[in-house]
Each structure stands twice: as structure tokens, then as C-alpha cells.
Amino acid sequence: MDLKELLGEELYNQVMEKAGDNKLAVVSDGNWFPKDKFDAKNDEVKDLKNQLKTRDTQLDALKSSAADHDALKQQIQTLQDENKNKDTEYQEKLDKQSFDFALKDALRGAQAKNPRAVTALLNTEAIKLDGDKLLGLEEQLNSLKESDGYLFAEKEEPAGLSGRSPKGAGQQLPGTYNKPNPFKKESLNLTEQGRLFREDPDLAKKLQAQA
């Protein structure tokens, strides 16, 4: 029960009026206390309560901010991981396409009759693409040519080596090229055409023009 309830409103007002005139304050135990000290202590308590309230508000805001920050960090990390995986998958796809193209090109150069059949006999895991070179392929191709030579076309012999001149050999061809023109109808050779376009495009165009 506080002082007002104890004394009643009328008597309480009289007491407080007297206390005000004498600059005194009455505390709950009935003792008189200097009003200025009482007010100062009361203000101190109020200020402390306000500080505690402000602190609690800041802590709540900090907790909320930290929670949002953690969620944002997790979301960013998830996106980074997903993008990294996509980059890795895309690079692996590009590497495989480059490998497949280089392998097909090399098999054509090796005069494989059926590149797909030859590829099935290769240990592609042991072949590595280094720039524009396939490391480990030549050894496997040489082994296949010895064991399964029928998979590869025989190389054409230059004019004069077989004792007779191939058909069309008497025609003057550009440069030092001494084989039948692979673009002419009677000596058509798609494999040789492909090799020429890869190794000497200018010569291939000249031969094509003469055909």
C-alpha cells in the first residue's frame, strides 16, 4: 500500500503540500527525505529504466539483423555453389566436345574406315587432349592397325613407287602434290580431300578448281 492509499487523498495532499513548502519528499517508509535528492534519485531510476529499455530494443534489433544476415549469407553461399556447379558442368561439356571433335579429326587423318567402330575399341580414358594434340592416341592406333588392320584404309602410294602411274598422274598438279586429284570424279577421295583441307587449304582449293 502506498502513502496516498494509507493517508487518504485529502490528508495526502496536505502532507505533500507541506513537503513541497519545506522542499521535502516522503518515501514509502514514512521517513522525510530532501526533495531535491529524492527527485534526483527518482530521475536516476527513470534514466536507468530508459537505458535498459533502449538496450533491450537494440538487442532485439541486433538479433533480428543477425538472423537476417545469416539467412542472407546462406542464400548468397547457395547461389555461389550453384553457379560454381553450373560453371563446372559447362566447362566439362566444352572439354568433351573439344575432345570428341579432335578424336574424330584424328581418326579421319588415320584413315579409319568407321571412326565410331574404332572409337569403341579405344580406351578413351587414357587419352588426354593437350591443346590440339591427343596424348596417348597414337600408341593405341598403332596397336589397332597391327591387330585390326581392316579397320583402316591403306595409304595411297606416290606415283612411280608401285611400278605404274595412277590414273590421272600425268596431269600437272600444284606444288609438289604427286597424287591423283582427289576432287576429280575418276579419282574421288573424300578422305584425302579432308586431309588437304586440314593441312593445306590453299592446295586443296587449287586442286578443287582444277577438277
Region 139-143: what's the mean pLDDT?
92
Beta strands in the chain (DSSP E): 24-26, 32-34, 128-130, 133-135
Q: For 22-41, write each residue's pLDDT tens digit.
A: 555 544 444 555 656 556 66
Q: What is d(CA 171, CA 210) in angstroms, rounded to the nearest whole number?
A: 10
Percentage of the chain lying above the pLDDT 90 cut: 13
Q: Are 39 and 31 in contact (CB under 8 A)?
A: no
Region 75-91: what's the mean pLDDT?
84
Q: Residue 89 pLDDT more than 80?
A: yes
What is residue 166's predicted lDDT score, i.e. its pLDDT?
Answer: 46
Q: For 174-202, write each residue's pLDDT tens digit.
A: 456 778 888 888 888 888 888 888 888 88
pLDDT band at 141 (very low <50, low <70, confident <90, very high): very high
Region 85-99: what's the mean pLDDT?
87
Q: Which range, 2-6, 68-72, 78-82, 172-176, is most confident? A: 78-82
Helix, strand, coil shares, percent, the chain, to 5: 65, 5, 25
Q: Average per-residue pLDDT in the chain?
A: 75
**pTM (predicted TM-score):** 0.40
Q: Which range, 112-126, 149-163, 177-191, 192-206, is most confident? A: 112-126
